[in-house]
Structure 1
Amino acid sequence: MFRINKLTDYAVVLLVDMARTSRVRAAHDIAAETGVPAPTVAKVMKALVRGGLVRSTRGASGGYGLARPAERIAVSDMIEALEGPIAMTACVDSAEDCCEREAYCPMAGHWNRVNVAVRTALDGITLADMAKDAMPPAWMTPVVPRRSGAGTGAQTAPAPMEPNV
């Protein structure tokens, strides 16, 4: 199974949140709003800054913000910022490491087509696409008033204000 790692998954969650709010925020605020633990937010943000997707600003009004518009950040950019170049196998044209069987491998060159198809698909979806379809975290969803029994009136549970982290 082809699967991104947990830190990349967190990176996408954080980037989607940043795209939806579009303001500079401190790591602890991002952690509180997303439910991702603060140490993980700090670690992921460092990688995203190195990858050129997020900018960091120091000072009293500092924090993290997107380095470019969400429409110009592809899913492939997010994955590469955390995991490096996207390749289905080590034997694609751009690979630095070669297999000792490369000279007589029947699959030589064929994985490149698969790699290009995967890359094209990941390039075609942007952070803006993901942010517009994203649901807010469950703890942020307001509680809908519910009726209980005839004649007792509506009862409303209070909406939670902060995540349980």
Structure 2
Amino acid sequence: MLNINKSIEYSLIAIKHIKSKSNKLCSANEIANQYNIPKELLAKILQRLSKCGYLNSIKGSNGGYSLNKNLEKINLIDFIETIEGPIGAVKCNLNLNCNIYDICNIKNPMNLINNSIRDSLKKLKIYDLTN
């Protein structure tokens, strides 16, 4: 089963919050307090989003985060994979070591499942998920 982990959930929460504030900078503390997210974890997530280019980061006492990319152009699969790395339904579709790859009789069906999931995630835009 494909799971969306907490860091992706918290990333979407943070982006939606920042988006709702228009051009105002938002601090990690502000977001963490409003949504009961552990501050240290959220700070790491926001730093990662900034490093990946999704957010601008302004340091200092009046600093915070603002959006850096057009959310209408970012699909969910690209967003997740930029933050977490490749995702898929099964290991063989991720080019990870699989002990039975050479003799597996369900590679093709699993590949179809994986492609279907990826296609669905490509259709979802971060803009739509944060409206």
Pairwise TM-score range, normalised by the shorter structure: 0.7 to 0.9
Show CA shifts across 1:44-96 (max 9, x none).
1122223332221224543212220121222223322442112111101x51x
* Structure 2 equivalent of residue 58 of structure 1: 59
> % of aligned pairs identical?
28
Question: In the alignment, is the contact (CA less than 8 A) between 2:2 and 2:88 conserved in 1?
Answer: no
RMSD over aligned Cα, in angstroms? 2.1
Higher alpha-carbon Rg: 1
Please give the alpha-carbon distance, in whole angstroms, between the structure 2 residues aligned to 1:107 and 1:52. Answer: 38
Show CA shifts across 1:2-47 (max 9, x none).
3222222211211121222233222122223433232222021122
Please give the alpha-carbon distance, in whole angstroms, between the structure 2 residues aligned to 1:4 and 1:74. Answer: 14
Compared CA separation, residues 125 and 54, structure 1 to 2 (3 A): same
Please give the alpha-carbon distance, in whole angstroms, between the structure 2 residues aligned to 1:129 and 1:107. Answer: 35
- TM-score norm. by structure 1 comes to 0.67
Please give the alpha-carbon distance, in whole angstroms, between the structure 2 residues aligned to 1:13 and 1:29. Answer: 12
Question: In the alignment, is the contact (CA less than 8 A) between 1:19 and 1:128 conserved in 2?
Answer: no
List gaps (5 residues or longer) in structure 2: none
Please give the alpha-carbon distance, in whole angstroms, between the structure 1 residues aligned to 2:36 and 2:68. Answer: 23
* Structure 2 equivalent of residue 162 of structure 1: none
Relative to its length, the structure with more helix (as a share) is 2
Equivalences, count: 130
* Structure 1 equivalent of residue 30 of structure 2: 29
Runs of 4+ in 1 over 4 A off after TM superposition: none
